[in-house]
Amino acid sequence: MSTLVDLAAEQDIRLPANLTDATALQVPANERGWFRFQRSYDAARKVVRSEEAMRRIVREAAADDAAEGSRRLELQIDPTSYAPFVGGITPALEIVLDEAASASQATGVEVAIIVAASRIKHPLDARTLARLAAKHAGDGPGQVVGFGLSNDERRGQTSQWAGAFQIARRAGLASVPHAGELLGPDHIREVVTHLQPTRLGHGVRAAEDPELLARIVDAGIALEVCPTSNVQLGVYDSPGDVPLRRLADAGAQVALGADDPLLFLSRLTDQYQIARDQGFSDAELAGFAKASITASLASAESKQCWLSEVDDWLAVNPSAD
């Protein structure tokens, strides 16, 4: 939050009170609620108007994750948001990739990038982004590892973005669209059918349909489950209602994530605490960590290293049974 305040002050931008009062955003799970969330998100993004500001966000995100003990950070970006301030979408992405590589060296956290299209923009714009992402495809720090689709799940027809995802997959990029938070199983089916995801951003509401959940498990599609987001966006009433146990018992590959720490004031370690509060053992929490590693888009060598670290933790933790 301090960075947000600093950047706003530098540009004489007045921030809405909800971004500076240290109170987590909480909205109902309807279109008005999403509008309030998006308005806050856009207000925060508005202060990022220069190359240095972009670099600072990436650099500090890596430092924050390093402080928590993370090993890999896959940041999602829509370069069109910053293109007007740095000369276009190509330099916008290249700035982020360059800083991701530098931040990786400085912090020890591998920082890779997911390029994401938006449901509120034309699907042809998504194809342009997919082609740009494809030029920088790879699995290491400072490279593009996946292609996503974000914003309000209720907007547009999912099939309209299939072409962009085909472009991305041909370049070896993983398909990582958002689905299954604001909308339920029927929408998840559409996304699985048309976008062929490697991971689903959220996907938590697959728990409402055992047949769909089994299909996701059989296909090896990982779920990026963000309990705090689910509550703050009104999908569930409390963290205890997030169906982590149902997902885990079904064999789903659950990768816990924080989604949006700035607006929800909750980071990755808080998501593990929510799982612990639901009764998950240390060994099961380690299983979530392993699932996050396996579901990451890192190299096989990096994954093996981090999986061994989790095993080492289990070996010395007397309560991990």
Residues involved in catalysis: 181
Are the C-beta atoms of 59 and 73 separated by less than 8 Å? Answer: no
The 8 Å CB, 24+ separation contacts for 164-171 are 164/117, 164/123, 164/126, 164/127, 164/129, 164/130, 165/130, 165/194, 165/195, 165/196, 167/127, 167/130, 167/131, 167/134, 168/130, 168/133, 168/134, 169/196, 170/134, 171/130, 171/133, 171/134, 171/137
308: its two tokens? 């061994």
Are the C-beta atoms of 218 and 197 separated by less than 8 Å? Answer: no
Q: What angle do CA 307, 308, 309 make, to 5 degrees?
A: 90
Exposure string for 190-218, b = 16+ CB within 10 A, e = fewer: bbbebbebbbbbbbbbbbebeebbeebbe
Closest among 6, 8, 20, 9 to 263, alpha carbons compared: 20
Signed CA dihedral, 201, 104, 174, 44: sign only: positive
3-state secondary structure of 308: helix
Helix axis angle for 210-219 and 185-195, nearest 10°, is 30
Are the C-beta atoms of 132 and 93 separated by less than 8 Å? Answer: yes
Distance of alpha carbon 98 from alpha carbon 107, whole angstroms: 14
